Amino acid sequence: MKVPFATARESAINLSPEGQTKKQTRNQLYKFNDAYAQVFEQVGPENGYSDLLGLIESAKSFGNRFECQKTCRAGKLWCYNAQTLAHLAHAFEHTDVKDSRSNNRSRSTLSDVAQMAGVSESTVSLVLAGKGETRRISVETHLRVRTAATSLGYTPSLLHRSMRRGRTHVISLYNAFRNRDRGDLYMNRLSAAIGDAGGKLGYDILVHTNFQRSTKETYDFLNGGLADGLVLFGPSADEPLLPLLRDSNLPTVIIGPRRDDTSLATVLDDEVLGVRMIADALVENGHQVIAAIVEAPAGNLDPTGRLRRLQAELAVRGVTMDSRNVFVWRDTPEDTLKQLLALEPRPTAVFVWHDRTAYRVVETCESMGLNIPGDLSIIGYDGLVWPSTSGHIVTSVLVPLDEMAEAGVSLLHRMIEGANGPVSITLPVQFLPGTTIGPRSVH
């Protein structure tokens, strides 16, 4: 927090050394060094140098008090600090130092601060790390280092600091689908929830969006020290990063794996329960001829096994979903629906792999004059309400994205702190009734 100049100056002038030991006096001088450094940060070409000159006068007054009392060398050193401030003021007014922030856009380094302050880099590092007092670095040197760092706009390198401490307090998020659509409500929701969960635990989130790298380059980037751990979303069983991550020491949590993987920590929704709810809803409404619209990301049909689970659950209930009733979402919505409705016998209900596509199916049905759910019942998966021209809410299974994000980040945090893994967490889902499922119609 910045200390107003007037407050620092008044405190300095009113400070009395009477009754204080040398150590107490020296400690107070260190405190005022920090205060004056903060004041110095507020001084610049845009508001003139009156505050800086006032700071110099205050330093002289403060130093003279100690020198007159003959209490300790600290007072004399503080007097000398006034000369340092005067030198810096002169530099601001008569050299290019005052323009270092605006004209030189490169990052100031530890070496720059050391050169300006006239000390070694190790001394700068100790002062800025708050270790100067324990190493008996003089008050005058403290002030020179801090004012030089402020004038140059220097901040310590987070990368160097993380190398020393072994932590960056950053978590990586990588989408194994290797795409990011601005309109992807699912990933937007999940990313926001991961960011919120990470922030509560003191982490920033590094979202990786460069999908042009090779597998090895991607792995090296993920495990290169920028982050303490990785949240990997939606990898398939043949995801090329998985073998590398299994053999690494990088704490990793998978959210929403597209295949069971017990070698890494995972957080997933209870898809078995969700599919069972879908099968119950379809059969209870009398549907016997059921179709499915699925996607095949990267040519991988039914990557989570959701379709096969539904076929198995329907079979247990005496309903067979023929393979010819399964359509891959490749063509336009109109072409897909025309093929589906041309089947004999005609399906009375359709399961859509996720809700984003389900809402497009509903819109297309309405544009074709079909009544939903009278002519065709539609049920999806995810439970997200996507922007749509239809007034319907798709009947679906609600996936607890917020809870999955919180559980995943919390699990990753524990692993970063040294907890054993892997651990698998399965979170319950809920049935979302919606308005797109109804009793079987007769055609």
Length of the chain: 443
Here the tokens at position 343 are 């089947």
**DSSP annotation of 262:** S
Q: Are residues 151 and 102 in the same domain?
A: yes
Question: Are residues 100 and 178 located together in one domain of the fold?
Answer: no
pLDDT of residue 132: 61
* Residue range 262-297, pLDDT digits in tens: 789 999 999 999 999 999 999 999 999 999 999 877
Of 75, 160, 167, 176, nearest in space to 124 by CA:
160
Same domain, 93 and 226: no
pLDDT for residue 68: 42
The more confidently predicted of residues 116 and 88 is: 116
Residue 21 has pLDDT above 80, yes or no: no
pLDDT of 160 strictly over 90:
no
Determine, yes or no, domain membership for 426.
no
The pTM assigned to this predicted structure is 0.68
In angstroms, rounded to a whole number, what is the distance separating the alpha carbons of residues 150 and 39? 10
Q: In this structure, is residue 164 part of a structural domain?
A: no
What pLDDT band is residue 31 in, cutting at 50, 70 and 90? low
Sign, CA dihedral 83-85-86-91, equals positive
Residue 162 lies in a domain: no
Average pLDDT of every residue of the chain: 79
Residues 275, 262 share a domain: no
Most confident stretch, 125-134, 250-259, 364-373: 364-373
Judgement on whether residues 58 and 26 belong to the same structural domain of the protein: yes
Structural domains counted in the chain: 3
Is the residue at 120 inside a domain?
yes
Co-location of 122 and 182 in the same domain: no
**pLDDT (tens digit per residue) in 385-443:** 999 999 999 999 999 999 999 999 999 999 999 888 778 999 999 999 999 999 987 55
229's tokens: 């751990």
Location of structure tokens 């978590």 = 171
The reply to whether 161 falls in a domain is no
Going by C-alpha positions, the residue among 433, 429, 437, 432 that lies closest to residue 272 is: 429
66 and 134 assigned to the same domain: yes
Angle made by CA atoms 432, 434, 438, in degrees to the nearest 5 = 115
